[in-house]
Amino acid sequence: MEGAEKPVIAIYDVRGIQDYIFRTNSLKEIIGASLIVKNLVKSEFETAVLNQNFNKTEIILDWENAENLELKFYNDNQIKVEVLYYGGGNLVVLFRNEKICRDVSTAMSKDVIKKAYGLSLAYAYIEVTGDYQNDWKNLKDKLATVKATTPLTKPAGVLPIVQYDRITGFPLSKIVKEQERTKKVTFEAYQKLKKYENDQNEEKYMKQFDKMRTAKDEGLIAIVHIDGNSMGMNIGEIMRNAPNYEQATKAMREISKNIHQVFEKDAVEGVIKKIPEICKNHKVENLIKDGELPFRLIIGAGDDITFVCNERISLDIVKEYIYEIRSKYMYNNKYQFSACAGIAIVHSHFPFYKAYKIAEDCCQSAKKRAKNEGMINGKIGNFVDFQYCYSSNIGSLDDLREKNYKNIEGKNLITRPYGIYENEEELTDEQRKFSLSNFEDNLNAVSSIARNTAKELRDYSYKSEASLRTIFKRLIKKRSFKPKENAGIDEYYDALEFLDIFAVNKKEVNNSEKKL
């Protein structure tokens, strides 16, 4: 084949991961799916390469431990395959020729379908010209074309005579045993359940979300989605200064290692160490049983993190996560990391796909403020937004807030998202209002009010601003609450709505206290 010995560069990406994980209401399947997709691209690629019977000297898969992170492909013609880097779910590889690339890619595609029925592998490759900047642009463009023109691989449909799953619509083709009974499941669900059962749970995460609930009559949990800020823009800026493959590879390897180390390891491990203390502060330390924490990592793909935890500790966990990453850097002690988070607080049997979507929408809401009025000295801040989902009958976050969070005068009731700032002395008056420390101050302030009074005050927020100020005066007269001077209708609403969830010290209901 003409040009067969010319090197090619390839990029691999697994499509449909979020839909694959969250398109079921079975918590066991969600956990099993998250275990399946963890490092799926990397593991299946390594399997496909090793099955090609290369000598050990002909392949370089362990790029993370390469000497000085340097590329060896061009200095050693014996090397047939070298992984450039793996990060954010993408794997980039150099092959000695197109045939090797096609053989590995074909085998890999088949293995992904077999081991993760319902996912599909997208990949693209181009001939290496030696001009890294041009090659990288063409490779990314080709992958984008592949994703845009190739339909997602989906499990086979059903015939009229076949039983099917009512949520996914896939045929029921396997039987699994659940306690003392058996049930029919789809092949995709079967794979997820098998993976769940084989999970050794070395991280001591809880495998049953119901155990994360504070009490049987308080069946809430939190789905948290965290995403790094301006990652693509910063990486692009760094890589534009890389003139060739050698320097570009070294830079991307350092970037990928740092993102993985900081977002997936250091921050998660830092959070786990803090969870016992956080649980104690919120008086839910009884949830820690047999060393298992009320926390479960679902997705860890570079700066894209999703986890489930007890609802009361969710905001403090986000704070600790941000504290861990914001002192670290992407490359060469430059490009300080920052991130935004979204928290969806739902009942433990709430449809998980909807909960994840709300958490994702909250994260995007946080990013919007972080990149606009939340910026300080031109730097994007760390922000968090959160939403309590009272019902599963919801649409988008914007629609939910437009419908339910305005008073009779049409004024917005909420202040969130909130910024997790390092130095609040630099903040403007507006920025201080939406700093997380201000929310916590408000939370402490309304915690001094009896719970029934606090709930009435929240309900009064939907009336006119004049009515709310009248209520403030009555509370001041009782000396049970002292609102800030010129406090607006949106000053305390967030604290009142989340009083029972985030407040550490709450005053209990006092039935003898007169109504407002």
Q: Is residue 164 part of a domain?
A: no
pLDDT confidence bin for 242, thresholds 50/70/90: confident
Q: What are phi and psi of 493, to 5 degrees?
A: -60, -45
Lowest pLDDT segment from 128-132, 428-432, 476-480: 476-480
How many percent of the chain have pLDDT more than 70? 91
Same domain, 410 and 358: no
Look up the CATH number of the domain holding residue 59. Answer: 3.30.70
Strand order in the sheet with 81-87: 59-60, 81-87, 90-95, 8-15, 120-127
pLDDT at residue 512 in the model = 44
Same domain, 428 and 326: no
Pair (373, 429) in one structural domain: no
Q: Does the pLDDT at position 511 exceed 60?
A: no
Given pLDDT bands bounded at 50, 70 and 90, which one contains residue 152? Answer: confident
Residue 185 lies in a domain: no
Predicted local confidence at residue 486, as pLDDT: 67
**pLDDT tens figures, 282-298:** 988 888 888 888 998 98
pLDDT at 489: 65
Q: How far apart are CA 283 and CA 505, in angstroms?
A: 9
On whether both 123 and 27 belong to a single domain, the answer is yes
Q: Are 383 and 449 in a shared domain?
A: no
| 178 lies in some domain | no
Residue 179 belongs to some domain of the structure: no
- Both 286 and 363 in a single domain? yes
Q: What string of DSSP letters covers 12-69?
A: EEEE-HHHHHHS-S-HHHHHHHHHHHTTHHHHHHHHHHHTTT--GGGEE--GGGSGGG
Closest CA to 515 of 469, 461, 460, 466: 460
Residues 86, 69: Cα–Cα separation, whole Å: 13
* pLDDT for residue 25: 77
Same domain as 137, residue 87: yes
Instruction: Tell me if 197 is assigned to some domain.
Output: no
- Percent of the chain surpassing pLDDT 90: 48
Assess whether pLDDT exceeds 70 at residue 478: no
- 349 and 258 in one domain? yes
Summary mean pLDDT of the chain = 87
Residues 343 and 255 in one domain: yes
d(CA 243, CA 333): 20
Q: Is residue 470 part of a domain?
A: yes
Domain membership of residue 40 as a residue range: 8-149
Position with higher pLDDT, 457 vs 82 = 82
Flag whether 24 is in a domain. yes
Residues 466, 331 within the same domain: no
Check pLDDT > 50 for residue 2: no
Pairwise pLDDT comparison (154 vs 417), residue with the higher score: 417
Which pLDDT value is given to residue 252?
93
Q: Which of 460, 485, 459 lies closest to 471, judged by CA?
A: 460
Backbone angles phi, psi at 215, to 5 degrees: -155, 160
Mean pLDDT of 348-357: 86
Q: Looking at the domain assignment, is residue 12 inside a domain?
A: yes
What pLDDT score was predicted for residue 88? 76
CATH assignment of the domain containing 262: 3.30.70.270
Q: Is the pLDDT of residue 103 over 60?
A: yes
**For 36-49, what is the mean pLDDT?**
92
Higher pLDDT among residues 3 and 51, named by residue? 51
Q: What is the DSSP letter of 266?
A: I
User: Which pLDDT score, from 0 to 100, does residue 448 have?
Assistant: 80
Last residue of a domain, one of 149, 171, 191: 149
- Minimum mean pLDDT range among 40-54, 289-303, 500-514: 500-514
Mind listing the pLDDT tens digit for each residue in 419-476? Answer: 999 888 888 888 898 999 999 998 988 888 777 878 888 888 888 877 777 777 777 6
| Domain end marker among 149, 174, 205 | 149
Residues 187-231 pLDDT 10s: 889 999 998 888 765 567 776 777 787 776 578 899 999 999 999
Residue 166 in this model has a pLDDT that exceeds 90:
no
The amino acid sitting at 9 is I
Is the pLDDT at 370 greater than 70? The verdict is yes
DSSP classification of residue 491: S
Domain boundary among 149, 169, 192: 149
- Is residue 383 classed as helix, strand or coil in its secondary structure? strand
Evaluate the omega torsion of the peptide bond into residue 417 and state whether it is cis, within 30 degrees of 0: yes
- The number of folded domains in the chain is 3
Say yes or no: 381 and 486 in one domain: no
What pTM did the predictor assign? Answer: 0.89
SS3 329: strand
Per-residue pLDDT band for 3 (boundaries 50, 70, 90) equals: very low
One domain for residues 94 and 229: no
Mean pLDDT for the stretch of residues 120-132? 93
